[in-house]
Amino acid sequence: MGAAAFLVAAGRLEAADVVATAAPSPAEAVATVDGKPITAAELEDAVGYRLLGLRTEEFNAKLKILHQIIGERLLAREAAARKVSVDDLVQAEVQGKVAAVTEADVNKAYETLKERRKDKPEAELRKLIEENLKQQRSQTRRNEFLRELRDKGDVRLLLDPPRVSVRDGGDPSQGPKDAPVTIVEFSDFQCPYCARMAPTFKRLHEAYGDKIRVVFRNFPLTIHPQASKAAEAAACANDQGKFWEMHDKLFADQQKLQLADLKATAAAIGLDAQAFAECLDSGKHEPTWKADGADGQRYGVSGTPAFFVNGRLISGSQPYEAFAQVIDDELQRKGLAKSH
């Protein structure tokens, strides 16, 4: 059974299941406590947050298959326009335009992998590297060609992603408030995976400019004992208009998050040292990170970093491409051009 036929069949089964177990209306009770109803709308609101991760995984799986079907149709359409077979089209536009893998390419990859792959003889490892590089370049070129076909055609994604309404909490942000895409980040200053996101977000700001707004919210984990005080230090720096300078310094050296280190960092970025120390020692901003953490838990955050792109969840330290894919989709849904 082909992918399209499989999806049609699956859709029929799903539709039949929906008919057999019709969903309750939002006002309909799904349970009662002492005679007082818990409505379907209340349950859905709670489930929407707690199961967002699972729903996002389901959406991404469906989206991957949907892109495959779209790709097959685009290739068939282009092949028909050129009066060639799909195989001949792929050979000409994909295989025929893949850059050759050179000995230098293999040598570079081998030097990186040889210590980790001592289980394989050198000749076998080199052969494996060469085959993997060929496959990667072939897939990259195929994706490029499909993008070319999508850009010149009329392709619109109508599959709605799962999303939740995420507040910015009045926390520090970069980018205009009316930006079409808002990224709310829940992070931890002692989390090494969070620190790795700096280059990715620098690249996002460069690529998308005023089209994105990034909001930083704290989610200090209990396994990181210095994270909560570091969050307070950043808030104290924000009182003096230098949140992002402190943010960058804290992530740049996560070994310097003790109280004395935080105060030294404040002085280094030009803050009023006495005012900063009084703010930090007073615990003035403890409620700030606690409020962020409570909101994060409500949205289903359990680890860091976690990101909500217009309410769509991206979990963990993901590469630039993962964010660009979602941002581009959000811009397309708003009828706006991509920025890269």
Q: What pLDDT shows up at residue 4?
A: 40
Distance separating alpha carbons of residues 157 and 93, to the nearest angstrom: 25
160 domain residue, yes or no: no
What does DSSP assign to residue 307? E
Q: Angle CA(269)–CA(271)–CA(273) in degrees, nearest 5?
A: 120
| Structure confidence at residue 13 (pLDDT) | 37
Q: Judge if 125 and 36 occupy the same domain.
A: no
Instruction: Label residue 27 by pLDDT band (50, 70, 90).
Output: confident
Considering the domain boundaries, does residue 60 fall inside one?
no
In angstroms, the CA 237 to CA 79 distance is 60
Q: What integer pLDDT is reported at residue 44 of this predicted model?
A: 79
CATH number at residue 278: 3.40.30.10
Distance from C-alpha of 286 to C-alpha of 264, rounded to nearest angstrom: 20
Distance, in Å, from the CA atom of 267 to the CA atom of 263, rounded to the nearest integer, reads 6
Q: What is the pLDDT of residues 268-326, one digit of tens each?
A: 999 999 999 999 999 999 999 999 999 999 898 999 999 999 999 999 999 999 999 99
Position 100 pLDDT exceeds 80: yes
Q: Looking at the structure, do residues 299 and 191 belong to the same domain, yes or no?
A: yes
187 and 121, same domain (yes or no): no
Domain shared by 141 and 194, yes or no: no
Q: What is the mean pLDDT of the chain?
A: 89
**Mean pLDDT, residues 210-219:** 97
> Do 328 and 287 lie in a common domain?
yes
Look up tokens 């953490």; give the residue: 293
Q: Are 133 and 109 in contact (CB under 8 A)?
A: yes
Q: Are residues 103 and 249 in the same domain?
A: no
Helix (H, G, I), strand (E, B), or coil: what is residue 306?
strand
Highest mean pLDDT among 8-12, 121-125, 206-210: 206-210
pLDDT at residue 2 above 50? no
Residue 258 and residue 129 share a domain: no
Q: Report whether pLDDT(121) > 50.
A: yes
pLDDT-based confidence at residue 63 (cuts at 50, 70, 90) = very high
Beta bridge partners, 29, equal 39
State the amino acid at position 89 in one-letter form: L
Judge whether 58 lies within some domain: no
d(CA 199, CA 197): 6
pLDDT in tens, 36-61: 999 988 887 777 677 888 899 999 99
Which pair of tokens denotes residue 177? 């408030």
> Does 199 share its domain with 289?
yes
Q: Answer whether residue 26 shows pLDDT above 80.
A: no
- The answer to whether residues 278 and 227 belong to one domain is yes
In a domain, 159, yes or no: no
What's 135-187 look like in SS3?
Answer: HHHHHHHHHHHHHHHHHHCCCCCCCCCCCCCCCCCCCCEECCCCCCEEEEEEE
Give me 276's structure tokens.
């900063």
Distance from CA of residue 123 to its chain's centroid? 38
Report the half-sphere exposure of 183 (CA within 13 A, side-chain side): 26
* Contacts for 329 with CB less than 8 Å, ≥ 6 apart: 157, 161
In a shared domain, residues 199 and 103: no
Task: Give pTM, 2 decimals.
Answer: 0.75
How many distinct structural domains can be found in the chain? 3
Range with lowest mean pLDDT among 23-27, 209-213, 298-302 = 23-27
Cβ atoms within 10 A of the Cβ of 132, count?
A: 13
Please report whether residue 63 resides in a domain.
no
Within a domain: residue 73?
Answer: no
Fill in the DSSP letter of residue 224: -
3-state helix, strand, coil in the chain (%, to 5): 60, 10, 30
**Which is more confidently placed, 83 or 158?**
83
Is the distance from CB of 235 to CB of 275 less than 8 angstroms? no
Give the residue numbers spanning the domain of 261. Answer: 173-333
**Length of the chain measured in residues:** 340
Question: Does residue 245 form part of some domain?
Answer: yes
Strands (E), 188-329: 212-218, 306-309, 312-315
Please tell me whether residues 203 and 87 are part of one structural domain. Answer: no
Predicted pLDDT of residue 339: 58
Whether 10 has a pLDDT exceeding 60, the answer reads no
Tell me whether residue 240 is in a domain.
Answer: yes
Within this chain, do residues 147 and 182 fall inside the same structural domain, yes or no? no
Label residue 128 exposed, middle or buried (CB < 10 Å: 0-12, 13-18, 19+).
middle
Mean of the pLDDT values across residues 324-334?
Answer: 92
